[in-house]
Amino acid sequence: MNFDIVKLLLGIFLTLHLNTGLAQQVFNITHEARYELKYRPDKQSDTYKINTFILFMNQQESFFKNMAVYVKDSLERQGTLKKTGDIYKDLANYDKYMPEFPYAIYTNRNKVVFSDRIAMTGNYRYEEEVRFDWKLTSETGIIKGIKCVKATTSKWGRNWIAYYSPTHPHPFGPYKFHGLPGLIFKVEDEDRNFVFELYKYIKRNEKGFNLNNPDKVDWVSKEKYVKMKRNSEITLPNGIDFPDMDVKRKAEILNRIRKEYENKVHLEISEE
């Protein structure tokens, strides 16, 4: 079997079998928005990959989560999706619920709590203060049939263009974006490496909604999380080795993994 396939299978298998108990953290929802993210997988790509996300919100706070993870959590809660203990069955059943961006983001004013799972390592969370210096303009555009107003900002080493709706009075948006006088319907960097666009918005009056956060989470600094995340993507998973493989071949594989990581387009390429 191809080494990369072995690495992938083992990685997914071990990730699935980490402790995934869920804590009962609740959230009062008044509205829900769904976003499509189109992103370039690498610096040379002319095509996009797609992930979808769901945003729960009320007037004070929001919670942003990958749609695939949200669906998985819902199916597990209903008992229609369960782990069998059979690696091949579990890989088949869970593969479509394991997106490239499985993170969750809670926002309350300028406080942002970012949660993510690092494969073969555990669940991690960091808190940061995120402020945007938005430049409001008089330009407008129609997004999904709604008249929106253009705003711009610079953040994380990129220049961003957003369209928000003053008639949807929620100061939130996809990812960590927030702080505009209306819900963000679309936001993209000027090079269009990352394009978030709303495709559904509904009222959803639901109190005590369970966010399904993992019950075992390590709080770390953002700097430590970024370092651990990078290390997980450029090295062989902890505890996995192939002793029969010669040193030269192993070095070639590690070098290729590192080059692929460096060639990826990262949303945050600086702290500011």
pLDDT tens-digit readout, 93-143: 777 877 889 999 999 989 999 999 887 788 999 999 999 999 999 999 999
pLDDT at 7 > cutoff 60: no
Which residues are CB-contacts of 266 (< 8 A; sequence separation ≥ 6)? none
Average pLDDT of the segment spanning 5-31: 58
End-to-end CA distance of the chain: 44
- Confidence category of residue 241, pLDDT binned at 50, 70, 90: low
- Confidence category of residue 6, pLDDT binned at 50, 70, 90: very low
Task: Find tokens 């399904």 and name the residue.
Answer: 212
Residue 76 near residue 93 (C-beta atoms within 8 A): no
CA torsion sign for 255, 261, 263, 268 is: negative
Average pLDDT of the segment spanning 147-170: 97
Average pLDDT of the segment spanning 226-238: 79
Report pLDDT for 253.
74
β-sheet bridge partners, residue 155: 158
Average pLDDT of the segment spanning 144-151: 97
- Confidence category of residue 81, pLDDT binned at 50, 70, 90: confident
Question: Cα separation of 67 and 59, whole Å?
Answer: 22
Report pLDDT for 240.
55
Written as six digits, the tokens of 212 are: 């399904």
Q: Which of 186-190, 233-237, 249-253 has the highest mean pLDDT?
A: 186-190
**Across the chain, which distance is largest between two alpha carbons, in Å?**
64
- Confidence category of residue 170, pLDDT binned at 50, 70, 90: very high
Long-range contacts of 65-73 (CB under 8 A, 24+ apart): 65/104, 65/105, 66/99, 66/101, 66/102, 66/103, 66/104, 67/34, 68/96, 68/97, 68/98, 68/99, 68/102, 69/97, 69/99, 69/102, 69/104, 71/97, 72/97, 73/22, 73/212
Report pLDDT for 213.
66
User: In this structure, how many other beta carbons lie within 10 angstroms of the beta carbon of residue 214?
Assistant: 18
Strand, coil or helix: 137: strand
CATH fold of 3-214: outer membrane lipoprotein receptor (LolB), chain A (2.50.20)
Report pLDDT for 226.
93
Question: Cα separation of 44 and 263, whole Å?
Answer: 8
Q: Tens digits of per-residue pLDDT, 219-229?
A: 999 999 999 99
Phi and psi dihedrals of 44, rounded to 5?
Answer: -95, -5
Phi and psi dihedrals of 203, rounded to 5?
Answer: -75, 140
pLDDT at 9 > cutoff 80: no
Average pLDDT of the segment spanning 237-251: 63
* pTM of structure: 0.84
Average pLDDT, the chain: 85
Report pLDDT for 264.
86
